[in-house]
Amino acid sequence: MKKLFALLLCSYALLAHAGEAEIRKSFETKFPKLEKLDHIVKTPYAGLYEIVLGGQVMYTDEMGVYLFDGSVIDMATRTNLTEKRSQQLFAIDFDKLPLNLAIKKVKGNGKRKMAYFSDPNCGYCKKLEKELSQMSDVTLYIFLYPIFQGSDVIVRNIHCAKDPAKAWDELMLKGNAPAEKSCKTDTDQVMALGRKLRVNGTPNLIFADGVQNPGYMPASDLDTRLNEAMKK
């Protein structure tokens, strides 16, 4: 029985490898200017292969004839499997983030960590700040990311304030706009960082384990993720 099991494993490995070879050959033929496919993984569903193309998770068949652009959903758990894989594949090294470009806030003992991109004119960013105001024992790094019209001026005024963290809270939690100020800021560097990390909207959360979560999260979910990320 053990020999049979070993043979089956070997056969599966050979088939998977053959699929990878066919996929590479097909894509090299159809897209000669395309960079080499470094990520080809056989999935456990529908015989599809997972590939990364243009910084995005996509799927193809074992011959590389068809390309599937979309999300795979687990109907039983209603889990977006593609989104989960993307978060894992594109996780970043939190410690290598240029945190000097961010506004730092320490709540409680600050042992948990989270960075996030936020825009002062973003409605969901304001909702996120209300949720974060309920959190404790966390260090927050806020990358001000002005993508809405007029946000660049507000971001400048906050960065140039005597206490940027306080000015941010006054605006996002109380609606008190910062006074007009003028100084040199690092906004261009933050914008470049956002593009590099594929930040397409705000808020965009980055937990200590390097996993990015685009969008707003309620306090209960934030608390869970912060604890999970700290353990990893």
Cis preceding-peptide flag for 203 (omega within 30 of 0): yes
The alpha-helical segments, DSSP class H, found in the chain are 2-30, 81-89, 123-132, 151-159, 164-174, 187-196, 219-231
Task: Supply the DSSP symbol for 148.
Answer: S
How much is the pLDDT for 223? 95
Contact 129, 172 (CB under 8 A): yes
For the domain spanning 2-89, the CATH number is: 3.10.450.70
The highest-level CATH class for domain 94-231 is alpha beta
Please indicate, yes or no, whether the overall pTM of this predicted structure exceeds 0.95: no
231, burial (CB in 10 Å: exposed 0-12, middle 13-18, buried 19+): exposed
Task: Supply the DSSP symbol for 6.
Answer: H
Rounded CA-CA distance 121/142 in Å is 15
Rounded CA-CA distance 110/140 in Å is 8
Taking only the tens place, the pLDDT of each residue in 16-59 is 455 788 888 888 888 787 767 778 889 998 889 999 887 788 89
Report residue 136's pLDDT band, with 50, 70 and 90 as the boundaries. very high
Residue 232 reports pLDDT greater than 80: no
The values of phi and psi at residue 178, to 5°, are -70, 155
Rounded CA-CA distance 216/55 in Å is 23
Domain ranges of the chain: 2-89, 94-231
Contact 114, 206 (CB under 8 A): yes
The arithmetic mean of pLDDT across residues 1-8, rounded, is 35
Taking only the tens place, the pLDDT of each residue in 57-103 is 889 998 888 888 989 999 999 989 888 888 888 889 999 999 999 99
* Count of beta carbons in the 10 Å neighbourhood of residue 56: 12
